[in-house]
Amino acid sequence: MNEADITLRDSRSDAKSYRVCKVDLLCPYCGFYSPAEGPVPTMKSALVVCHRCHEAVMLQAANVLTPGSPVLDYYPKKLPTVDPFVPNDIADDYLEAQRCFSAGACMDVL
């Protein structure tokens, strides 16, 4: 999942003491594209819960979370996995490379 997989649909404060954010995202937990919704504790972040697996994902924006504004980052990142039939030395290298890409350590190379 990357930031382009997150679409902010709505962000408003109905009859609650906080704003509510509604998004469509590729959930890092269940791996499905699903609607999610949750509170906006600050103007630049939201904590949304996936409607499918009921796990929380934190979203961060550059300015204010409004419909159409880009999401800069999300947490947690999806944990990389490897098929058990892959040899251990290759699997270890693959998992290390995936952790580096998810941390953004290899972005200058591309």
Tens of pLDDT, residue by residue over 14-45, are 555 778 888 888 888 888 889 999 988 888 88
Tens of pLDDT, residue by residue over 46-91, are 899 999 999 999 998 887 777 877 888 888 877 778 888 999 999 9
Amino acid letter, residue 90:
I
Beta strands in the chain (DSSP E): 7-12, 19-26, 33-40, 45-50, 56-61, 71-75
pTM tops 0.85, yes or no: no
Q: Which neighbouring-strand residues pair with 25? A: 34
User: What b/e readout covers 55-73, taking b as 16+ CB neighbours within 10 angstroms?
Assistant: eebebebeeebeeeeebee
Residue spans of the domains in the chain: they are 3-77, 79-110
84 vs 99: CA distance, rounded Å = 18
Nearest partner of 52 among 24, 15, 78, 72, judged by Cα: 24
